[in-house]
Structure 1
Amino acid sequence: MEVDITLIHWIYVAFIIAIIGFMLFRRDTTIVCIVGILSLAAVSTFSLNDSISSLFNSFIFAITELLPTILVISIIVAMSKILTISGINEVMISPFSKVIKNPTTAFWTTGLLMMIISSFFWPSPAVALIGAVLLPVAVRAGLPALGVAISMNLFGHGIALSGDFIIQAAPKLTADAAGIPVGDVLNASIPLVLTMGIVTTISAYFILMKDIKLNKPFSSVSPTYQTQESALQLLSTTSKKILALLIPLIFLLDVVIMFTLNLQGGDATALIGGTALIILIITTCLAHKKRGLEESTNYLIQGFQFGFRVFGPVIPIAAFFYLGDAGFYSIIGEYLPQNSQGIVNDLGVALANVVPLTPEVGAVTLTGVGILTGLDGSGFSGISLAGSIAQLFSTAIGVSAATLTALGQVTAIWVGGGTLIPWALIPAAAICGVDPFELARKNLLPVSIGLVVTTIVAMFLL
């Protein structure tokens, strides 16, 4: 498999390094990404007009891709506001107080529930379900909102999505690309998913507990729900108890519907978002009575203000990284070589072509390919490439194609599926009201430790 690496590829790599550097030094990366988009467009089109147009088009493309997530987060935040102000949330979370009594139980209970639900319906709808119910009680137990986001993130977008043992979309893609049965990839991924999950979550837990003991400040961008109206008795005690029981049952019914109709990903998220919107309207009308119609709109406005405030800094970065995949053709045009599979995929193939062929190097290479292809923030876009490269390496070296395929899958999804790339972290970050860039920085060390240990384990399994 040969690819042509052009100046476009090198410019993309240079700006990735610059963006990562700015992030590590906690500097804003918006201007860097904008300059990166302009540079790629200018080198590709040699046209000032087209380059400037590509910049605007890249923002449109990014917003279009992110819009479903923006909508569901905004609606969930709006619903959470009325539940908090009316006192329903207080009643709804009270049973969990018996289990979640300290930061440790909050971290592991939140994570395990997130992993279970994500295994059946993928993380995006699970974030909305878990965050709306468990975030307040976890914070009250002493776990910072950032810690809740880390827990949901690592267990959901990390463990559940990288293994994908129930839905099996990820192993199907990688297995087809590697030309091996899905069952082989599933079996080979079990020790890798377990290793990655255990090492990463334990590392994150101890780092988080250390920060809590040292009283380190945790940034938050949560909208404040404490208003003058929160002191008013909007609902009777009986009404609050009834609604506190009905709302979780309604979301549980959503889970049953998702399972029965096999709704996953975007369809499952849409069901959760629509349900939250209905709950928002009904609860607001019951609480505010004659002003229910007007207040429903006010809560929606506040939800959208929060959603776009959180997503605003992410859109330019997402716009740049979407150029690394199929977004390049939609935004700039057909300027890559004919045999190109997208910038990040080309870089992954080039990396595989220049390394020496040994089992150890094969494992390291598949990890590198997974990291590179995960940089677009999808996680799934590059796993087919990981399967193809795993098949090539297994044939050349004479090692297990299934293990290499599983390693590429686990790496790509942990990096791009939502634990290290800021715009892929937005669902968990927004629900918990934390900065996605800060969440990415907190995840970096435990995920990096997990990737190193998992790669070493894969070497022994080859």
Structure 2
Amino acid sequence: MGIELTTLHYVYILFIVLILGVMLLRRDTSLVCICGIFVIGLLVKGSIYQAVSAIFNSFIYAITELLGTILIISLIVAMSRVLLATGINEAIVSPITRLIRTPSQAYWITGLLMMVMSWFFWPSPAVALIGAVLLPVSVRAGLPPVGVAMAMNLFGHGIALSGDFVIQGAPKLTAAAAGIPVQSVVSASVPLVFVMGLTATCTAYWLLQRELAGKETLAGRETELSQEKLTLYGQDDDALLGNMLSCTAKGLLAVMVPALFLLDVGIMYAAELQGGDATALVGGTAVFILVLIALLAHRNQGLEKITAYFIDGFKFGFTVFGPVIPIAAFFYLGDAGISQIMGKVLPLGSQGLVNDIGMAIASVVPLNAGVGAVTVTVVGAITGLDGSGFSGISLAGSIAHLFAAAIGSGIAILTALGQIAAIWVGGGTLVPWALIPAAAICGVSPFELARRNFWPVLLGLLVTTLTAMYLI
């Protein structure tokens, strides 16, 4: 049995409802989260200056918890910059381009390659790494640019990012909010990620095939990407010349880069590395690759260019996670964070605000696996409406914790389900302002891309939710 809910619990519930309401209105939630931290601090401390201090302390706590995730993403992006600048990315994917002869081959090969690259580089850098090379080839094979964008989008920002099996940025956030180990979320997400992915990508392929039936091959379509589009990914004119390395050097490095990451995967398996240890290995490998290629490519300017690439990567990392920090700071108060930020303030017998609320709901509402799965999916999808799949997954993890406590089981499955729903909607497959990287590289409207993705993603969420009900 849970404890009796206090004013603190009800205030926390109120602000969760307010945050969801603001997200539904497609407005930023940072101010609401900051107000929530202040009000909770005021209730706990009874002092305005201490409540103000609690805002800063909660930010520090959130940054400390997120720092490893921010760092690995920043390093991966920094490495991707040097690969793109030197043309090594083109050498990496060039053997694949020979296999693309039909629209079907273009869709599946582009998508699968995007998925693999996204696991190691994250989707936005991966779009830049392979989009410029595969778009012309795919269009010549008969797949329209919007089809290329759909493939990169669904496989990269959908399948790869929602699972995030290698870098594990997403599972760390949801696992922390749910109060369970990262590996539990990763393991539970595997069947759900692939059910979601297969449903969405196969539906999208069927719709594309139906549209292409009777149409002429788009072989003569203009496919050259403008300089303006490529500069979206932080490349300057000199970097795009692609003549910093010889063809032989590019070829050797193009073999070395994936080989090193494959070696990392083997070491993770053999040494049973998980969570932070696995992330550290990938991050260190990314730094090694960046330093080596920057020194070889830029020679006398190598030392300065290494720093420049790091700065570029950290700009990206903190730009992505800037909106996440206030939101994560608020939701960490729902678990152990409140004790570490504000002291031992919970009533005797409390297991955290979220867990207490879950037990209270269980005593009033007869919850079951079906209700819990549907609710977590809906909440996850709502949190993604702000266009940042990561800003809401802490809430998805907290809600999963709440419902699992009420149901009595299934916390890992519900957490993974919330993560998948939030990232598929907000991480870059449905919300137009989150689709800009793939849309820009393919020269299509992000609103058109969102419209094309709508039914495949909606059907995928339905099938995945039904699957989660069965697995709980």
- Taking structure 1 as the reference length, what is the TM-score of the superposition? 0.70
Partners in 2 of 1:413 and 1:117 — Cα distance?
A: 22
Q: What is the match of residue 179 of structure 1?
A: none
Q: Give the letter for the 2:7 counterpart.
A: L
Q: 1:444 to 1:27 in 2, by over 3 A?
A: farther
Q: What is the match of residue 267 of structure 1?
A: 277
Partners in 2 of 1:254 and 1:457 — Cα distance?
A: 32
Q: What is the match of residue 355 of structure 2?
A: 345
Partners in 1 of 2:351 and 2:470 — Cα distance?
A: 31
Deviates more, 1:361-370 or 1:271-280: 361-370
Query: How well do the aligned residues superpose, as a CA RMSD in angstroms?
Result: 4.9
Q: What is the match of residue 248 of structure 1?
A: 258
Q: What is the match of residue 318 of structure 1?
A: 328
Q: What is the match of residue 222 of structure 2?
A: none
1:228 aligns with 2:231: no
Partners in 2 of 1:103 and 1:34 — Cα distance?
A: 49
Q: Deviations over 1:218-265 (max 9, x none)?
A: x99953224334226211111111111111111111111111111122
Alpha-carbon offset, residue 20 of structure 1: 2.4
Matches within 5 A, 1:148-297: 148=152, 150-152=154-156, 154-156=158-160, 158=162, 198-199=198-199, 223-231=233-241, 233-297=243-307
Q: What is the match of residue 7 of structure 2?
A: 7
Q: What is the match of residue 66 of structure 2?
A: 66
Partners in 2 of 1:4 and 1:97 — Cα distance?
A: 63
Alpha-carbon offset, residue 271 of structure 1: 0.7
1:192, 1:457 within 8 Å by CA — same for their partners in 2? yes
Partners in 2 of 1:106 and 1:305 — Cα distance?
A: 33
2:108, 2:151 within 8 Å by CA — same for their partners in 1? no
Partners in 2 of 1:205 and 1:43 — Cα distance?
A: 54
2:159, 2:194 within 8 Å by CA — same for their partners in 1? no
Partners in 2 of 1:220 and 1:145 — Cα distance?
A: 15
Q: Deviations over 1:308-333 (max 9, x none)?
A: 12221221112112212221222222
Alpha-carbon offset, residue 281 of structure 1: 0.7
Alpha-carbon offset, residue 103 of structure 1: 8.8
Q: Which runs of 5+ in 1 are unaligned?
A: 165-169, 177-181, 211-218, 392-404
Partners in 2 of 1:46 and 1:158 — Cα distance?
A: 41
2:70, 2:321 within 8 Å by CA — same for their partners in 1? yes
Deviates more, 1:7-16 or 1:149-158: 149-158
Q: What is the match of residue 96 of structure 2?
A: 96
Partners in 2 of 1:299 and 1:34 — Cα distance?
A: 33
Alpha-carbon offset, residue 151 of structure 1: 2.8
1:322, 1:376 within 8 Å by CA — same for their partners in 2? no
1:377 aligns with 2:381: no
SS in 2 for 1:377: helix
Q: 1:293 to 1:322 in 2, by over 3 A?
A: same
Partners in 1 of 2:111 and 2:151 — Cα distance?
A: 10
Q: What is the match of residue 45 of structure 2?
A: 45
Q: Deviations over 1:352-405 (max 9, x none)?
A: 221247xxx5531465478889976287778777666545xxxxxxxxxxxxx4
Between the two proteins, the alignment pairs up a number of residues equal to: 410
Alpha-carbon offset, residue 52 of structure 1: 1.0
Matches within 5 A, 1:345-424: 345-356=355-366, 361=368, 363-365=370-372, 368=375, 377=394, 389-391=406-408, 405-406=409-410, 408-416=411-419, 419-420=422-423
Matches within 5 A, 1:300-315: 300-315=310-325
Q: Which runs of 5+ in 2 are unaligned?
A: 139-144, 169-173, 211-228, 384-391, 440-445
1:75, 1:273 within 8 Å by CA — same for their partners in 2? yes
1:34, 1:55 within 8 Å by CA — same for their partners in 2? yes
- Taking structure 2 as the reference length, what is the TM-score of the superposition? 0.68
